[in-house]
Structure 1
Amino acid sequence: MARQIYKIESKVPFYEVNTLNEWHLSSLLNGLLTVSDAQLDLLEAGDAVMHAKGLGWVITQYHFDIKRFPKSKEPIVMSSWANSYNKFFSYRDYQLDDAQGNELVHLDSSWVMMSFETRGMVRVDPEVVKNVQATEIRSIKKFKRLPKKDYSQAKHKPYRVRYFDIDGNQHVNNVHYFDWMIDVLDLAFIEKYAIDTVDIRYEREIHYGQTAESYVLTEPDEDGQGVTTYHAIKTGDEVHTECQMHWHLR
């Protein structure tokens, strides 16, 4: 089955860049998600159809490969396509290119359908996925296994969940976790290193009014040319999200 690739040409908004004039990771992800949202609406598999069924799309995992972050006002092309699906998981790819067609970012993702009534995962609705023309598979796509870390002595910072953090699925939007994770790091670190890979796994929802703690551990590479950061978002002893990022020297 030929995949349907949906593309949007745009420019990096000047108000979504960091101190180095680069697109924030969370804003970049929002841009890519806009592409899949537009495609799903076009194919009658978006929010309107899902919510009418009492369902919502919920992310479980992302893997990013980042060659570089585009700069403020830089022309870009963002694309997305449904990759495959099985009984419970739907897999989708995203890509961000520069104006010359060079790939800057590639993103693999895994999604499930959540019931608003039970707040739990349900089987993929065949009437919805048939519209996106993804390939049905029996296997489960493997993402990077994140190592278990002891965060008891880790640097951490609290974040109260605001009204503005909540999305249409009535929980913290998955993009906001990246702001919480990166904000714990020192500005000097962020200006010294750039992210090249990200692996994140979402496990439990966080809701309005809760206070989450963002934890980080850092481990330098043996060659001194990079650093791996390990992140956890927790409420009390409960882990909601874990992430691993690799950074290289700028």
Structure 2
Amino acid sequence: MERQIFEVHKKVPFYEVNTLNEWHLSAMLNGMLAVADDQLDATGAGDTMMHDLNMGWVITQYHFDIKRFPVSKEPVTMTSWADSYNQFFFYRDYALKDAQGEELVHIKSSWVMMSFATRKMVRVNPDIVKKIQAPQVRGVKKFLRIPQKDYSQAIHKPYRVRYFDIDANQHVNNVHYFDWMLDTLDMDFLTKYVIDTVDIRYEREIHYGSVPESYVLQEPDPEGTGITTFHAIKTGDELNTECQLHWHLRKA
């Protein structure tokens, strides 16, 4: 089956960059997710069809490889394609390239179909994924296993879930978690280091009115040139999301 790649060209919006002129991680992810959403709509497998079936697409895991973040008003090309699917999981890739065609960001992701009636995952509907030419596979793709950490002494911040945090699936949109996690790190850290890999696993959804807390731990690399941060979003004792970010020192 020939891979169906969907492509969008745009410039990085000036209002979505940080103090160093780089595209915010969450804003960049939103832009790349929009490419996949356009593909789903164009092939008749988007929100309208899913909601008619009383279902929604829900992310379970991401892995990012980041060479650099594009900057304000930089022209970029964003692509997305269906990698494959099995009985319960749908796998999708995303790529972001600069004007010279160099890949700056690559994302691998794993999704499930969720029933709105039960709020639980259901078997992948083959009639939907065939619309976007996703080949069926037997195995389950492996993502990095994030190590369990003791967050009892970790820095943490509470966040009240607002109406504006909720998406059409009636839970906190997956992109908001990144802002909550990075907000536990101070400005000195964020301007000294830059992210090169992201691994995140979504465990349980968060709903309107909840007050989850964002936790962070830091572990410097032995050679002193980078650092790994471990993140957890919890509501009470319940784990909602866990994440591992690797950072390297910015070039002077």
Above 0.5 in TM-score?
yes
Provide the C-alpha distance between the structure 1 equivalents of 2:33 and 2:67, rounded to a whole number of angstroms: 19
Q: 2:124 matched to which residue of 1?
A: 124
Provide the C-alpha distance between the structure 1 equivalents of 2:196 and 2:140, rounded to a whole number of angstroms: 25
Q: TM-score, normalised by structure 1?
A: 1.00
Q: 1:33 matched to which residue of 2?
A: 33
Q: 1:249 matched to which residue of 2?
A: 249
Structure 1's unaligned 5+ residue stretches are none
**1:135 partner SS:** coil
Matches within 5 A, 1:35-184: 35-184=35-184
What are the Cα deviations for residues 66-94 of structure 1, in whole angstroms up to 9, with x where unaligned? 00000001000000000000000000000
Query: Kindly, what percent of the aligned residue pairs are identical?
Result: 72
Amino acid at match of 1:224: G
Give how far 1:54 is off. Answer: 0.5
Q: RMSD value over aligned CA atoms?
A: 0.4
Provide the C-alpha distance between the structure 1 equivalents of 2:155 and 2:197, rounded to a whole number of angstroms: 21
Structure 2's unaligned 5+ residue stretches are none
Which ranges of 4 or more aligned residues in structure 1 deviate by more than 6 Å? none
Give how far 1:246 is off. Answer: 0.1
What are the Cα deviations for residues 25-56 of structure 1, in whole angstroms up to 9, with x where unaligned? 00000000000000000111100000000010
**2:129 partner SS:** helix
Provide the C-alpha distance between the structure 1 equivalents of 2:126 and 2:224, rounded to a whole number of angstroms: 49
Provide the C-alpha distance between the structure 2 equivalents of 1:216 and 1:19, rounded to a whole number of angstroms: 22
What are the Cα deviations for residues 155-210 of structure 1, in whole angstroms up to 9, with x where unaligned? 00011001110000000000000000001101100000000000000000000010
**1:241 partner SS:** strand
Residue 4 in structure 1 maps to residue 1 in structure 2: no
Amino acid at match of 1:137: V
Give how far 1:7 is off. Answer: 0.3
Q: TM-score, normalised by structure 2?
A: 0.99
Give how far 1:127 is off. Answer: 1.2
